[in-house]
Amino acid sequence: MKMSKRFLRILALTFIITACLIPGTAFATFQKPVFSDVSVHDPSVIKVDDMFYVFGSHLASAKSADLMKWTQISSSVNNDNPLIPNVHEELKETFEWAETDTLWAPDVTQLEDGRFYMYYNACRGDSPKSALGLAVADDIEGPYKNKGVFLKSGMEGISNDGTRYDATKHPNVVDPHTFFDKDGKLWMVYGSYSGGIFILEMDRKTGFPLPNQGYGKKLIGGNHSRIEGAYILYNPDTEYYYMYMSFGGLAADGGYNIRVARSKHPDGPYYDAEGHAMINVRGKEGTLFDDRSIEPYGVKLMGNFQFENKSGYVSPGHNSAFYDEKTGQSYLFFHTRFPGRGEEHEVRVHQMLMNKEGWPVVAPHRYAGEKLGKVKNSDVIGDYQLVRHGKDISADIKESADIRLHRNGKVSGGAEGKWKKTGHNRIELKIDGKKYNGVFLRQWDTSAGRKVMTFSALSREGGAVWGSEDLY
């Protein structure tokens, strides 16, 4: 009698649970990962000593020592918020200019004086009328004292660069990320929709922009194209600066997705995997939020998806990233919504790995302490749930397909083609008429409650595929 796939899964899961409860079994000593989740929209990461902190919109923040168990520090803009007490008076100029009572995505960095510099910002929302300023604290958890606004946008009349403000060409001064390049220079990348993403060179002693730059240098965007949340991270192994961005709209039906481009210089020019110059990527003249103009560009790392076991994300985005110089590991921090859960969102962290072309691929499951290791052919042969992320900007959720990696190098099922393991842990995959290069990684599948083999790979066109082992 042929048993259904669902029945076999239930049977196997029952065995695992039972084994975990019986002393003396091989499973009895297994310690599964423990997670505690928080809500921080647009999380920007900084590590202080052995603790990771994320700061996000609405003055929300959280911390974690292991990237799995998170503790909420703050959650809303009010005068009792520990980060900026009496915030409405402290940042009065910001709120009055932006005509709002809340704050958008900040960034915190530590300068050579040992103090912590928070780049805060506020925006009216239905227009790019925004203010971006700086507050400083002796302790990472505050209190932060305001040092003043240094950029404004959305004005009627003369803008920061000395010309008349034009929202199709000038930036919306929000979503900052401040970083040091490999030579120790300090930069700030910023912008959302409107005229695009810009970059400024900063004074590493004061934290403010160096003089006479105006809005700085443009990197990508324009004509109100939906590109925002830029975050730049240097990788010493590849010697590239990677600019991560979110394309699309952040709501559950907005098709938010995470993309990346790279450059040999912090201030560009940045290119995608096909060699497109990001400076040329913008909305069509005279359009508003024209996603079709921008969706062919950038390397799309992840978007809406759902595995067969119903685990998945909706509108993941506005990420930050971290490179651990001691271990060589990289991590992607982002907020995400979930299938069937509306606008509810939580922070997620996934490990990132480099494929053979020097592009980051994102591990399919959330980080649970896994490390990259050598795998054998026998470890990776078997059934997988395959997600094709593609290059589109869409509210559609990409459902997984069942495939099998055969011992003879063939791929069958929901996709057909060939595969091979290259090196200790790399995969080369040819399906759908495209070639993908990526990495095998054994991970913890939270929804299934077990460890599985996974792979994550990118095509030459810059589209991602994920595979998660299907044991039953």
State the maximum Cα–Cα separation within the chain, in Å, rounded to a whole number: 78
**Catalytic position from the list 42, 346, 392, 445:** 42
How far apart, in whole angstroms, are the C-alpha atoms of residue 430 and residue 44?
Answer: 36
* Closest residue by Cα to residue 269 from 297, 296, 241, 244: 241
Amino acid type, 75: S
Cα Rg, the chain, nearest whole Å? 23
Q: Which of 90, 107, 175, 228 is catalytic?
A: 228
Neighbouring C-beta atoms of residue 93, cutoff 10 Å: 15
Residue with tokens 């499951």: 365
Residue of 358, 400, 162 whose CA lies nearest to 262: 358
Tokens 């997670």: give the residue.
35
Residue whose C-alpha is closest to residue 174's, from 204, 111, 130 = 130
Residues 363 and 456 sit within 8 Å (Cβ to Cβ):
yes
Tell me if 151 sits within 8 A of 160, measured CB to CB.
yes
Could you confirm whether 42 is annotated as catalytic?
A: yes
For 6, phi then psi, to 5°, come to -65, -40
The residues annotated as belonging to the active site are 42, 228
